[in-house]
A = this chain, B = another copy of it.
C-alpha cells in the first residue's frame, strides 16, 4: 500500500526540480566534457540526503519506458532441474549479475511450443538479449527471435540451417576422445546410448561415432523423458548381445542405463566398460572410476554472456548486429 517514493517527492522535499534529482541520482554531473549539468555540492548533498531519508528507489518501469533499456536478460533452456543446465544457468546468472543485469529464466522441457511462448513472453518483457537452447521443432520460435532483431546467443545445440551466433562444444572431437578412451580400456563391441531427439549435440556425437566405428555400429535412442522400462530394454539388449563397451551421449540416459545394468547384476567396468558424457557423481563409485567427457560449462556460460554483452553494446551504439554471426567452438576434455 505504502505509496512508493518518487523523484517528485524528493524534488518537493528538497525544493528543487525533478530534473535535478534525476541528474543527481544518476550521477550525471559534470560529465560529457562540456560538463553541461552541474550541481553545487550543497544541493547534491541535500538531494542525496532526502533520497536516503525517504528511502527512494527508482521505478524501473518508468526508466525502461524512457530509456528503452531494461537491464534484463532472458535465458531459455531445456530443464534447470538437470544439473547440466542448472550449472550453466548458475554461471550465466553470475556473469549477468556482475554486469548489472538480472535474468529471466524459462524451461522448454524440449517442447517447441513452450520455446515459442517463452520467446514471445521475454520479447514483450523487453529483455535486452537472449541466451537460448533451442529444441527439436523450435524453428518458429527461432525465426521470431531472429526477426525481432534482439541480440541472442545460442548454446548447447544449433540448427545448421541457421547462420546465427552460437557457443558450441566440438562434439565430434569429444566423441572421438570418448571412443579412443573406451577402446584403450579394451572394449571391442562398442555401442552408444543417445537421445531420440534430433538436435545437433546428439547428431554430431552420433555422426562422429559412426565415422570411427563404421555405419553399422549400433546406437540406442531414448526419449527425452526416460522411463525405467526404456532403460531396462537397453540393458537387456546390451546383455543379450554381449556388448562390452558403451559410450553415452548425455548424463541422464547415462545414469538411467547404468542403473538398469546395475539392477541386473552386470559388473560395470568388468563385464562392460562405460564412458560417460557430462558429469555425474555416479561415475566415482566404480572401479576404476568411469571416464567421461566434460564440457567446459563455466566457459560456455562465460563466452555466451560476453558475446551477448558485445552484441548488446553494439546495438546500443547503433551498429548493425545482423551481420555478426561468429561461432565459438570449445573443446571438451576426457576425465
A→B interface (CB under 8 Å): 1-2, 57-62, 64-65, 70, 72, 79-83, 85-87, 89-91, 93-94, 97, 102-107, 120-126, 149, 255, 258-259, 262, 280-282, 284-286, 315, 318, 320
Q: Is the CB of B107 within 8 A of A90?
A: yes
Within 8 Å by CB of A80, from B80, B255, B258, B285, lies: B80
Q: Is the CB of B70 within 8 A of A81?
A: no
Copies in the complex: 2
Select from chain B the residue with minimum beta-carbon distance to A318. B1
Task: Report the bound CA distance from A259 to B79 in whole Å.
Answer: 27
Q: Which of A61, A72, A125 has the most CB of B within 10 A?
A: A61
Q: Is the CB of A90 within 8 A of B80?
A: yes
Measured between beta carbons, the chain B residues less than 8 angstroms from A106 are 93, 97, 102
Q: Is the CB of A94 within 8 A of B80?
A: no
Measured between beta carbons, the chain B residues less than 8 angstroms from A70 are 61
Task: Report the bound CA distance from A1 to B285 in whole Å.
Answer: 54
Measured between beta carbons, the chain B residues less than 8 angstroms from A125 are 60, 72, 102
Q: Is the CB of A281 within 8 A of B284?
A: no
Minimum distance in angstroms from A115 CB to a CB of chain B: 12
Select from chain B the residue with minimum beta-carbon distance to A83. B83
Answer whether A89 and B105 are a contact pair too, CB < 8 Å, given A83-B83, A149-B1, A285-B282. yes
Q: Which of A64, A94, A120 has the most CB of B within 10 A?
A: A64
Answer whether A103 and B102 are a contact pair too, CB < 8 Å, given A59-B126, A81-B83, A89-B80. no
Answer whether A126 and B86 are a contact pair too, CB < 8 Å, given A80-B80, A105-B93, A285-B262. no
Task: Report the bound CA distance from A218 to B123 in whole Å.
Answer: 54
Measured between beta carbons, the chain B residues less than 8 angstroms from A286 are 285
